[in-house]
Structure 1
Amino acid sequence: MKLVMAVVSNDDANLVIKTLIQSDFFVTKLATTGGFLKSGNTTIIIGVQDDRMDECIELISEHSKQRTKLVPNAISSEFGIFSSTPVEVQVGGATIFVLDVEQFIKT
């Protein structure tokens, strides 16, 4: 058995969770923050049997797409902070961790 921890964008989280539940995975949702833009993320924790690992990772990847976003850009100098042209950055996607589970207990 494996423990999958997937960090996805809040924009994608509901669709990812809904798809996993429809595919009979048990999901725990944690609200998290962090990353480059300090944007909201959702960490999804899933207990997965070894033979369903590929299916789980595929569903997460399929429903958490990367996209571009314009973010404000500021230049700091000895005279203060000045705004300049917004910069395009990649956001979204998923970061997936897979851990071995030594023991699983459900009470």
Structure 2
Amino acid sequence: MKLIFAIVSNDDSSKVSKELTKNRFSVTKLATTGGFLMAGNTTFIIGTEDERVDEAIEIIGKHSKKRTQMVPSSASYGVGMYTSFPVEVQVGGATIFVMNVERFEKL
């Protein structure tokens, strides 16, 4: 048995959740916040059989697309002088961790 942690953008969360559930994966969703952009994410916790891991990853990848977004940034131009300008960054996609499960019980 494996435990999958998948971190996806809130923009993709509902599509990913819907497809995982439709394909009979048991999913727990957690609201999380990314450290770089301080933007909302959803972390999915999925317990599944070893042979279904690739299927889950394929579903997550298919429904969590990377895209670019302009975000404010600041730069220093001397002592005490700051200005804000937009920077293009890549957002979306998924970060996935797969771990072995030593023991599983559903009570």
TM-score (norm 1): 0.94
Matched, 1:26 2:29: no
Q: Tell me, which stretches of 5 or more residues in structure 2 are unaligned?
A: none
CA-based RMSD: 1.0
Equivalent AA in structure 2 for residue 66 of structure 1: K
The within-5 A match list for 1:88-99 is 88-99=88-99
Partners of 1:35 and 1:11 in 2: CA distance: 17
Equivalent AA in structure 2 for residue 75 of structure 1: A
In structure 2, the partner of 1:70 is 70
For residue 16 of structure 2, give the secondary structure of its aligned residue in structure 1: helix
TM-score (norm 2): 0.94
1:82 Cα shift?
1.2
Deviations 1:42-63 (A, max 9, x none): 1000001011111001000111
Percentage identity across paired residues of the two chains: 60
> Which stretches of structure 1, 4 residues or more, deviate above 2 A after TM superposition?
none
The within-5 A match list for 1:1-107 is 1-76=1-76, 77-84=78-85, 86-107=86-107
Equivalent AA in structure 2 for residue 29 of structure 1: K
Partners of 1:35 and 1:63 in 2: CA distance: 22
1:35 Cα shift?
2.8
Partners of 2:79 and 2:65 in 1: CA distance: 40
1:83 Cα shift?
2.2
Q: How many residues align?
A: 106
1:103 Cα shift?
0.6
For residue 90 of structure 2, give the secondary structure of its aligned residue in structure 1: strand
